[in-house]
Amino acid sequence: MKFGVVVFPGSNCDADCNHVLKNVFGQETVYIWHKDDSFDVDCIVLPGGFSYGDYLRAGAIARFSPVMKKVVEFANAGGLVIGICNGFQILLEAGLLPGAMLRNNNLHFRCHDVYLRVENANTPFTNKAFAKQVLKVPIAHGEGNYYCESETLEKLIANGQVVFRYCNAQGEVTDEANPNGSLYNIAGIINEKGNVLGMMPHPERCSEKSLGGEDGKVIWESIIAYLERGANRG
């Protein structure tokens, strides 16, 4: 399988994603510069960071990068896309996912481990997890307060598009476990087709024991397994 990690001016987790995919999972991985207008990969990764300095608002300028036109086309054609932190914000700005990101409700940048509960284990990004599984994954953001209109939230819930929710270590979804005020404790969602995932926590930062945890591996393992099944069917 071949992964493409998009690099925007201000990206700072691109090397982390590249390292995990290439050196931990042995996958062919290439960098895709934000000005590139073509690529040939099986999965696109929009990494975390501060694209274009987060001017205007997080992801607002990156959404107009030349590469994003191709990313949108790739996603609309069914290609797998995962946006992590700033990547999630870019997916929202690009209209590939519904809703918007607000400033954290405490107005502080939050950088620490959180717990996530897997709400939908039947996606290309979570098929190696199980429903209600609790993952310990770090966050690092100032604008992770997910918001959408009530009608959109109802649709997300009904369609199983809420993939991850902030919870405590026991898997209980509580206000205290919510680090940013995100609506419905949302930490990650997918589109209606199920091929585009946005999540605020950083699985690439917890995919090796040397980094203190491996819970993030289940996301990468799920993507690889999904792509390999597709390749075998082809």
The 10s digit of each residue's pLDDT in 43-66 is 999 999 988 887 777 888 888 899
- Say which amino acid occupies 2: K
pLDDT band at 233 (very low <50, low <70, confident <90, very high): low
Which residues participate in catalysis according to the annotation? 85, 202, 204
The 10s digit of each residue's pLDDT in 198-213 is 999 999 999 999 988 9
**2-233, what's its fold?**
Rossmann fold (3.40.50)
Query: Distance between CA 231 and CA 46 in Å, rounded?
Result: 23
Alpha helices by DSSP H, listed for 86-213, are 86-93, 150-158
Predicted confidence (pLDDT) at residue 232 exceeds the cutoff of 80: no
